[in-house]
């Protein structure tokens, strides 16, 4: 039975899906349109996909537009859109300056509804893989400098844990978020079509189920000018693994209601998180 003394805590969160190209201005126009649509539909928190501002013809294109931390047109755009639409905005990833002159930090920044930046997470796990089925090769470490810190943001709606794309494959990262009382995990992504069709839904639902939390995943979806195809299927998953909303392909958004009372009751009634044991001995 629901605890009558516990206040109702429900929030609508939206994940935007798009197929970005090499023109930053055109991408921002589309991003603005979709944020406005999500806000008008009642979203209080909006999550953008990875690389929303640019999917270049070559990987080094993002280095050419990198911004200083706290300054630049893409960051100004995010702050403006959060304030204008009265939403908390999780800004996908923005290429920021790194220690290396030929690399960027893939930074996911969170803005409150006044346009103030309240958090920054730098993508930790870099996608250095070859996909045998298609011959595709991705070496993110050639142009991206990895971050090191786990980020869980305290918001008026929930404690938001931030991960980006390839991070999704490393469950220990999300287990560490539990030590910071994470309730909702947001995952801006640009999953490839091949890996997405094989693993995307399974991984998202697994992260939600094993951590008894909501997962809101904003993915690039469709064909890009550079020839790449992203999987799409942005979705909202509840703590029991149910998919509340999804968008298989094309531009748009998904939205789900985040109910913290439901989350807390699920964790109370099914106390798997309290049963965690760290097994260190190896025979």
**Which of 12, 103, 123, 145 does the annotation list as catalytic?**
123
Catalytic annotation present for 159: no
Q: Tell me whether strands 104-111 and 88-90 are parallel, antiparallel or unpaired.
A: antiparallel
Helix (H) / strand (E) element for 38: namely: helix 24-40
| Contact predicate 76/246, CB 8 Å | no
**Which of 12, 62, 103, 165 does the annotation list as catalytic?**
165
Using the CB atoms, write b or e for 47-79: b if 16+ within 10 Å.
bbbbbbbbbbeebebbbebbbeeeebebbebbb
Q: What is the pLDDT of residues 202-261, one digit of tens each?
A: 999 999 999 999 999 999 999 999 999 999 999 999 999 999 999 999 999 999 999 999
- pTM, whole model, 2 decimals? 0.94
132-137 long-range contacts, Cβ below 8 Å, gap at least 24? 133/194, 134/194, 136/192, 136/194, 136/228
Tokens read off for 83: 């304030």
Lowest mean pLDDT among 90-94, 110-114, 137-141, 151-155: 137-141
Q: What does the DSSP 8-state code read for residue 72? A: S
Q: What is the pLDDT of residues 68-122, one digit of tens each?
A: 999 999 999 999 999 999 999 999 999 999 999 999 999 999 999 999 999 999 9
**Which of 50, 67, 145, 183 does the annotation list as catalytic?**
50
Domain 10-275 has CATH 3.60.110.10: yes
CB atoms inside a 10 Å sphere around CB 140: 19
| Contact predicate 231/197, CB 8 Å | yes
Catalytic annotation present for 145: no
Catalytic annotation present for 50: yes
Domain ranges of the chain: 10-275
pLDDT at 244: 98
């Amino acid at each position: 039975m629901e605890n009558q003394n516990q206040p109702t805590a429900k929030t609508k969160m939206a994940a935007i899906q798009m197929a970005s190209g090499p023109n930053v201005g055109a991408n921002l126009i589309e991003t603005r349109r979709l944020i406005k649509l999500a806000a008008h539909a009642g979203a209080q928190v909006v999550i953008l996909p990875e690389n929303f501002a640019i999917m270049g013809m070559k990987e080094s294109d993002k280095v050419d537009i990198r911004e200083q931390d706290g300054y630049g047109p893409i960051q100004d755009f995010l702050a403006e859109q959060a304030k204008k639409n009265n939403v908390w905005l999780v800004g996908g990833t923005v290429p920021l300056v790194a220690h290396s002159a030929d690399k960027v930090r893939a930074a996911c920044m969170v803005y409150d509804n006044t346009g103030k930046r309240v958090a920054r997470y730098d993508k930790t796990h870099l996608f250095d893989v070859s996909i045998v089925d298609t011959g595709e090769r991705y070496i993110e470490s050639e142009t991206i400098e990895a971050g090191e810190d786990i980020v869980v943001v305290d918001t008026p709606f929930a404690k938001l844990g931030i991960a980006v794309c390839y991070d999704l494959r490393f469950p220990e990262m999300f287990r560490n978020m539990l030590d910071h009382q994470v309730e909702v995990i947001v995952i801006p992504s640009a999953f490839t079509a091949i890996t997405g069709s094989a693993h995307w839904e399974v991984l998202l639902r697994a992260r939600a189920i094993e951590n008894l939390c909501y997962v809101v995943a904003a993915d690039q979806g469709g064909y890009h000018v550079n020839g790449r195809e992203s999987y799409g299927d942005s979705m909202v998953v509840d703590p029991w693994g149910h998919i509340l909303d999804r968008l298989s392909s094309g531009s748009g958004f998904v939205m789900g209601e985040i109910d913290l009372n439901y989350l807390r009751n699920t964790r109370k009634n099914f106390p798997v998180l309290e049963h965690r044991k760290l097994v260190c001995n190896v025979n």
